[in-house]
């Protein structure tokens, strides 16, 4: 059995000093979980609006939050790129919405900003976690994740996964603030953990010797390494984190305000047809960014299960 265990509010974000963020961390209502097209936990009376879909269609434009993390969602010389972005463009394009506007937002501020109406959806490939499902709704799973470690060239500490980090002496681990790996490290009781605001800082922290390893999704770390050949780092083999003997399932999705059910349902319908239909369709959308057939979520993996924290 593989189980998704997400009990740490620290995995939601870094905006702990924000009153809005604190309110969201404490929230217990809302929530996604209906992959068959039924209402999300928030219903039409939640923080969203029944008119968001029509507003987007009328404007021919959708505003999205991105994390600026390659290869998921990032700006390259002002051009919006990434696998998560490609999915957004494909889905909304099929609805007749051709323009996608992006705002780069720190992980911990994305759901609060969404609920405050700063943007229409979050397109960062955000992992589906129970704490997040309590404060927003998610599409069908879109990207499966594995983890890896970025280490100094030659891997002087001989690190291979998070277990090796915990066992080793005096290892300093960097994690993305608000990222799923931060929760893994906390659940495993790993000490000496440093939070970084973005992937670039994580790589710099390892390259400069301020950390021995940087834990993040394998595809992100490999993308960074491939695009920074002169930086003295390397990436370990990908692995699936194991906590209390149980493999951790990681899958990202598009995020909606609770209550934006018409938008979410229409999005899911187009997503199934134009992105998730089969491996060929999926790779035609995201393959240019290094995603493979292994990143395509299995058809029996549901948002409802991931939001409940149990996948088996």
Over residues 85-126, the pLDDT tens digits come to: 999 999 999 999 999 999 999 888 999 999 999 999 999 999
Q: Is the pLDDT of residue 243 over 80?
A: yes
Q: Does residue 290 surpass a pLDDT of 70?
A: yes
Contact 286, 87 (CB under 8 A): yes
pLDDT at 89: 98
State residue 12's pLDDT score: 31
Q: Is residue 29 scored above 50 in pLDDT?
A: no
Q: Pick the range with the lowest mean pLDDT from 22-31, 51-60, 123-132.
A: 22-31
Confidence of residue 264 (pLDDT cuts 50, 70, 90): very high
Read off the pLDDT of each residue in 19-48 and give the average, rounded to a whole number: 36
Render pLDDT for 49-60 as a digit per residue (tens, 0 to 9): 558 999 999 999
Look at residue 71 in the predicted model and tell me its pLDDT.
Answer: 95
If residue 213 lies in a helix (H) or strand (E), which one and from where to where?
A: strand 213-217
Measured CA to CA, the distance from residue 211 to residue 231 in angstroms comes to: 15
Q: What is the mean pLDDT of residues 149-178?
A: 95
Does residue 46 contact residue 264 with C-beta atoms inside 8 Å?
A: no
Residue 244, pLDDT above cutoff 90:
no
Cβ(220)–Cβ(147) below 8 Å: no
Residue 62: enclosing H or E segment and its boundaries? strand 61-66
The pLDDT, as a whole number, for residue 311 is: 65
Distance CA 119, CA 116 (A): 8
């Amino acid at each position: 059995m593989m189980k998704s265990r997400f009990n740490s509010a620290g995995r939601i974000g870094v905006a702990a000093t924000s009153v809005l963020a604190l309110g969201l961390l404490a929230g217990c209502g809302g929530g996604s979980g209906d992959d068959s097209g039924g209402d999300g936990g928030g219903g039409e009376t939640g923080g969203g609006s029944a008119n968001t879909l029509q507003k987007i269609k009328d404007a021919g434009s959708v505003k999205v939050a991105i994390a600026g993390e390659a290869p998921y969602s990032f700006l390259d010389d002002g051009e919006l790129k990434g696998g998560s972005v490609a999915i957004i463009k494909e889905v909304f394009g099929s609805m007749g919405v051709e323009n996608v506007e992006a705002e780069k937002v720190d992980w911990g501020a994305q759901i609060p900003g969404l609920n405050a109406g700063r943007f229409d959806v979050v397109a960062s490939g955000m992992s589906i976690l129970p704490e997040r499902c309590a404060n927003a709704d998610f599409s069908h799973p879109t990207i499966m994740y594995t983890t890896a470690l970025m280490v100094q060239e030659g891997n002087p500490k001989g690190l291979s996964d998070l277990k090796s980090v915990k066992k080793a002496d005096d290892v300093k681990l960097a994690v993305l603030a608000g990222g799923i790996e931060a929760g893994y490290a906390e659940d495993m009781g790993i000490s000496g953990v440093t939070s970084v605001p973005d992937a670039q800082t994580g790589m710099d922290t390892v390259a400069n010797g301020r950390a021995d390893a940087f834990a993040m999704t394998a595809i992100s770390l490999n993308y960074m390494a491939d695009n920074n050949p002169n930086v003295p780092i390397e990436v370990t083999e990908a692995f699936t984190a194991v906590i209390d003997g149980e493999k951790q399932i990681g899958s990202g999705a598009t995020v909606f305000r609770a209550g934006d059910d018409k938008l979410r349902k229409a999005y899911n319908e187009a997503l199934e047809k134009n992105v998730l239909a089969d491996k060929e369709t999926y790779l035609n959308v995201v393959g240019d960014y290094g995603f493979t057939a292994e990143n395509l979520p299995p058809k029996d993996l549901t948002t409802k299960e991931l939001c409940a924290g149990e996948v088996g």
